[in-house]
Amino acid sequence: MALLQITEPGESTAPHEHRLAVGIDLGTTNSLVATVRSGQAVVLSDEMGRSLLPSVVRYGNDGHVDVGFEAQARQSLDPRNTIVSVKRFMGRGRRDIAHVESMPYDFVDAEGMVKLRTAQGVKSPVEVSADILGNLRVRAEASLGGALTGAVITVPAYFDDAQRQATKDAARLAGLNVLRLLNEPTAAAIAYGLDNGAEGIYAVYDLGGGTFDISILKLAKGIFQVLATGGDSALGGDDFDHRVFCWIIEAAKLSPVSPHDARLLQTRAREAKEYLTVHGEAPISARLASGEFVDVKLTSEIFTEITKTLVQKTLGPTRKALRDAGLSAEDVKGVVMVGGATRMPQVQKAVGEYFGREPLNNLDPDKVVALGAAIQANLLAGNRAAGDDWLLLDVIPLSLGIETMGGLTEKIIPRNSTIPVARAQDFTTFKDGQTAMALHVVQGERELVSDCRSLARFELRGIPPMVAGAARIRVTFQVDADGLLSATAREQTTGHEARIEVKPSYGLTDDEVAAMLKDGFSHATDDAFRRALREAQVEAQRLIEAVQSALKDDAHLLSILERAHVDACIAKLQAVMMGDDRRAIDAAMDALNKGTGEFAARRMNQSVQRALSGKKIEELES
């Protein structure tokens, strides 16, 4: 379908200015990259025509890093250095990880997040994920023929702040400009909804390799509104494999197996699971390094039986999400199935029975998330075409709060709040003359702090001494559109302030990311420099275009003096942007940003007034 494209004011009109943007589904088992090309969302394949990239990274003894199929092919030969399902470790400590004992890795328990000791040194899950993302970035840039403006990275809706932050860090480490972190079920809903012109209440049941999400959405008049979400960030197809693996050990009466044999049997278990999707029984055979020979048959009855509790475990969050949305199963018009694990017949059956309707399977469950992310990325990059005026309203999955006396949690932002969201609450001192306050930010639904996830600790010092209970400390939480939290505390009488971007305890600071990036490019320092410079130049060009376009539409909002100042800032940036002084470019961009702050505020006010006056965008701008 060749539609003529009409851009909105504020966006570039020249066709060659189409910005390269991608959506990346960073999955537990497989990852994909997609883009919008000539108005169509498409998955980008590698040079061999394969769209899926196994989320497997091998750190070889020879210093070589294999990603994807190459790593997967060697996983049972080199289990310790071949990292699979790294997503399960993102933002997680050792004690958070299930089946840790049957994993072949050499874990290093770092604060906040585990690390893995490999032939190439200790790697954090963030670095491993960055290697996967970097591979997809290279694939996309080769396929699209240029540097990417940015990427939308998907995360499980039920990911907490630490897991989201870890994902964003990984993307930055891979040299990607993150346009947005997008919830996987929401991405699927976009792809499904836009494709089918769906309206009404929809549920997205997303059972991936390692995570389960359920989201309830209302689709109406171009708005995708997530009403509630729930899930389990440690439940997925991997767990079904594990049940089969345990069953094989029992059925074949095996003694404890070596890491090598364990990996082999896990692979056999996964193959058997996939085979049972279309067959009644699966033969499983393997010769182990121990000399033992495994030869057993798994029937679909036994498979259903041994995984029954796993399937049941998905229905609890489903009920909860429906109740949070104030709805019941009958209200749901369609259930969109996402994630490779939803191919299992027993999952299809259980979901169908719960909702009383056949689940929707007309999308490729492996690709739909990446496609939805690509559509969102295209929009966020500013490649808006006619008919692209839809909007997404998402929520945070877990409540955010502060620890109060006695180790209790005071919730500040409840789960399923629409983001972005800002909320403030006042606290006070406990002792006479107290001059400092330790604030502990937590996420979760439980009353006791010890049952919630600790996100960050920070201190407000310099409170003037007062009697207990007299000080007014206002704690403000701001959650952005990525679902990431920043917190501030401010003493109300003095205005004394402490501010923190909530970095999970393992904390990658901007400097650390920069240092890691530099390490990664240590053999190609010039490349790194040129890349950074080019990014700054592209960014500067974007900024100038954005401001000029705003001036074209709304110059009347500025006085002559103000206009002159903005023009001067633009001229200054134009003067330095083609040089190679990165700092000068950054400084000039900063100045232009500051110089247009008030202008931006007035434009936003004007826009809201127009929304209220009931006029449609087209009427105003024609």
Partner 1 sequence: MDFNQDYFALFGLPRRQALDELALEGHYRDIQARVHPDKHAHLADVDRRLAMQWASRVNEAYLVLKSPLKRAEYLLRLLGHDPQIEHNTAMPPDFLMRQMELREAVAEARQGGDADALDHMHRQMAKEMKAQHEALAATLDQRNDHARGAELVRQLMFQEKLLHEIDNALETIEA
Nearer to partner 1, 145 or 597 (CB): 597
| DSSP 8-state secondary structure symbol assigned to residue 448 | B
Q: Does 373 bind partner 1 (CB under 8 A)?
A: no
DSSP track, 330-391? GG--EEEEESGGGGSHHHHHHHHHHHTSPPB--S-TTTHHHHHHHHHHHHHTT---TT---E
Give min distance, CB of 381 to partner 1, in A: 6
Q: CB under 8 A: which stretch of 194-202, 207-215, 373-381, 501-509 binds partner 1?
A: 373-381
Give min distance, CB of 116 to partner 1, in A: 33
Nearer to partner 1, 565 or 610 (CB): 610
Q: How many residues bind partner 1 (CB under 8 A)?
A: 49
User: Quick one: which of 117, 320, 333, 563 contacts partner 1 (CB under 8 A)?
Assistant: 320
Give min distance, CB of 622 to partner 1, in A: 17
* Contact yes or no for 21/152 (Cβ under 8 A): yes
What letters, b where the CB count within 10 A reaches 16 and e where it falls short, cover 213-236? bbbbbbbeeeebbbbbbbbbbbbb
* Contact yes or no for 486/478 (Cβ under 8 A): yes
Q: Does 611 bind partner 1 (CB under 8 A)?
A: yes
Residue 382 has phi, psi (to 5 degrees) of: 100, 10
User: Quick one: which of 287, 323, 431, 461 contacts partner 1 (CB under 8 A)?
Assistant: 323
β partners of residue 66:
58
Give min distance, CB of 260 to partner 1, in A: 38
Token reading at 125: 């899950």
- Residue 531, helix vs strand vs coil: helix
User: Quick one: which of 74, 94, 117, 319 contacts partner 1 (CB under 8 A)?
Assistant: 319
* Contact yes or no for 238/28 (Cβ under 8 A): yes
Q: What sign does the CA torsion over 571, 572, 577, 580 have?
A: positive
Give min distance, CB of 611 to partner 1, in A: 4
- State the Cα–Cα distance between residues 363 and 24, nearest whole angstrom: 17
Give min distance, CB of 608 to partner 1, in A: 5
Q: Does 481 bind partner 1 (CB under 8 A)?
A: yes
* Contact yes or no for 232/211 (Cβ under 8 A): yes
Of all helices (H) and strands (E), which one includes residue 455? strand 453-461
The residue among 251, 304, 252 whose CA lies nearest residue 277 is 304
Give min distance, CB of 498 to partner 1, in A: 20
Task: Sketch the per residue contact string, 502 through 541, with partner 1: x for CB under 8 A, - otherwise.
Answer: ----------------------------------------
Q: Does 408 bind partner 1 (CB under 8 A)?
A: no
Give min distance, CB of 450 to partner 1, in A: 19
Catalytic residues: 25, 87, 184, 206
- State the Cα–Cα distance between residues 165 and 124, nearest whole angstrom: 14
Task: Sketch the per residue contact string, 176 through 195, with partner 1: x for CB under 8 A, - otherwise.
Answer: ---xx---------------
Task: Sketch the per residue contact string, 461 through 480, with partner 1: x for CB under 8 A, - otherwise.
Answer: -----------------x-x
Nearer to partner 1, 404 or 607 (CB): 607
Helix axes 525-554, 582-595, angle to 10 degrees: 20
Q: CB under 8 A: which stretch of 54-62, 192-200, 314-322, 353-361 binds partner 1?
A: 314-322
Nearer to partner 1, 104 or 150 (CB): 150
User: Quick one: which of 3, 122, 142, 223 contacts partner 1 (CB under 8 A)?
Assistant: 223
CB atoms under 10 Å from CB of 58, counted, come to 27
Q: Which of residues 89-128 bind partner 1 (CB under 8 A)?
A: none
Nearer to partner 1, 271 or 535 (CB): 535
The residue among 357, 353, 313, 316 whose CA lies nearest residue 335 is 357
- State the Cα–Cα distance between residues 299 and 209, nearest whole angstrom: 22
Nearer to partner 1, 67 or 375 (CB): 375
* Contact yes or no for 87/26 (Cβ under 8 A): yes
Give min distance, CB of 615 to partner 1, in A: 10
| Burial of 373 (C-beta count, 10 Å sphere; 0-12/13-18/19+) | buried
Task: Sketch the per residue contact string, 555 through 594, with partner 1: x for CB under 8 A, - otherwise.
Answer: -------------------------------------xxx
Q: Give the footprint of partner 1 on this chain (CB under 8 A).
A: 10-11, 19, 179-180, 221, 223, 316, 319-320, 323, 376, 379-382, 389, 391-393, 417-423, 478, 480-481, 542-543, 546-547, 550, 592-594, 596-597, 600-601, 604-605, 607-608, 610-612
